[in-house]
Amino acid sequence: MKFNRLGQLFIRLAVASTLVCCVGLAHAQQTWSIATEYPADTVAGRGVAFFASALASQTGGKVLGKPEFKAKAGATDLVAAVQDGRLHVADVFGGSLAQLDPIFELPTLPFQVHSLGDSQRLTCVVEPLYRRAFLRAGLHMLFISPWPPTGLWSRGPVSDPADMAGLRVRTYDDSSAQVLRGLGMSATALPVQDVRPLLRTGALDGVLSSGDGAVGRSFHGQLPNFTAIHYAFPVSFVVMSQTRYEALPDELRAQIDKAAKDVQRRQWTTLPTRIRENYAAMRLAGVNVNTSIDDGFRTHLREAGDARMKEWLARVPAEYSAAIKAFLEEAQDTCPISLLEAQQGVRG
């Protein structure tokens, strides 16, 4: 996506003006607001809390993080607040960033990633593209926070394509809504905060969601079935203003980079345990967790995913297509060190 260079210059100047007071005051304590639209007890919320703690530890208290959970602002507003300096750091769901660049649609493209290992490998391949796309938007990517695989919560069991017909389902982005409509559902992209009222009034039959932590618990009473269709292995991105980042002293930037690297490693290495804990909590609450998908049903889903991937590849830059080819052919032998270490931790 092309950005208005003049508009970007104005944004950088506005942010820079808020940083003048900090130049030469490298040892003055700063408190950074770190916002996410998700509750504290989700993988995204925990990532924000861990990063706040890591900031204080790595910087010796020069930078303190102030987490803000369940922010009412949507992803677009959070990004804008970071760009113009009203917010220091934001955790933003990747699928909500399509307006910045089509590369951010990739982690939520359906039925292309089939395991946590695949998700890590894809992230290794694409991480440089994410960073460059954020930079074009005036943003600095601090770290990537993975979510558990997306499943389908529903009032009744879903075990074949016929069970999907006509279901009124909430999805997390426009792309997933389009795909589920193609599978016969009535799907609408909605913020997670809007889901519970609609479930209580019977306006929804299902939710496409990882159902992680507090979000999952909010579905237990109304949606007693969870089908582990592994729609996608989505990620969130934690970002700050590139101008703000560049204005920091070198030593402080290195400390912040270390904090971000440590949190990213922790988020990936703890994800398998988190997935098991989520499933255990579901079953304890009486939710029927279906992890055995019939081969015919899975083939039906993957055909829909392949069609969506083909459409995406037809409209993205050649370097994006090349990266996906590398992923599909397992041609990537090296990873950014933070993710490489995370993979080794999971395997161990």
Q: What does the pLDDT look like over 191-224, one tens digit per residue? A: 888 899 999 999 999 999 998 988 889 999 899 9
Query: In this predicted structure, what is the pLDDT of residue 172?
Result: 86
Query: In this predicted structure, what is the pLDDT of residue 34?
Result: 98
Query: In this predicted structure, what is the pLDDT of residue 192?
Result: 81
Angle at 259 between CA 256 and CA 264, to 5 degrees: 125
Looking at the domain that runs over 151-232+276-313, which CATH code has it been given? 3.40.190.170
Concatenated DSSP letters for 35-61? EESS-SSSHHHHHHHHHHHHHHHHTTT
Q: Is the pLDDT of residue 109 over 60?
A: yes
Q: Is the pLDDT of residue 185 over 80?
A: yes
Band (344; pLDDT cuts 50, 70, 90): very low
Backbone angles phi, psi at 314, to 5 degrees: -75, -15
Looking at the domain that runs over 5-146+235-272, which CATH code has it been given? 3.40.190.170
Query: In this predicted structure, what is the pLDDT of residue 14?
Result: 52
Q: Are both 5-146+235-272 and 151-232+276-313 of the same fold?
A: yes
DSSP letter at 72 equals: S
Q: What does the pLDDT look like over 256-313, one tens digit per residue? A: 999 999 999 999 999 999 999 999 999 999 999 999 988 999 999 999 999 999 999 9
**Residue 52 near residue 67, CB atoms below 8 Å:** yes
Q: Is the pLDDT of residue 126 over 80?
A: yes
Q: Please tell me the pTM assigned to this model.
A: 0.85
Backbone angles phi, psi at 300, to 5 degrees: -60, -45
Boundaries of every domain in the chain: 5-146+235-272, 151-232+276-313
| Least confident window among 2-11, 158-167, 229-238 | 2-11
CA torsion, points 32, 38, 42, 45, in degrees to nearest 10? 0
CA torsion, points 155, 161, 167, 172, in degrees to nearest 10? 90
Query: In this predicted structure, what is the pLDDT of residue 265?
Result: 95
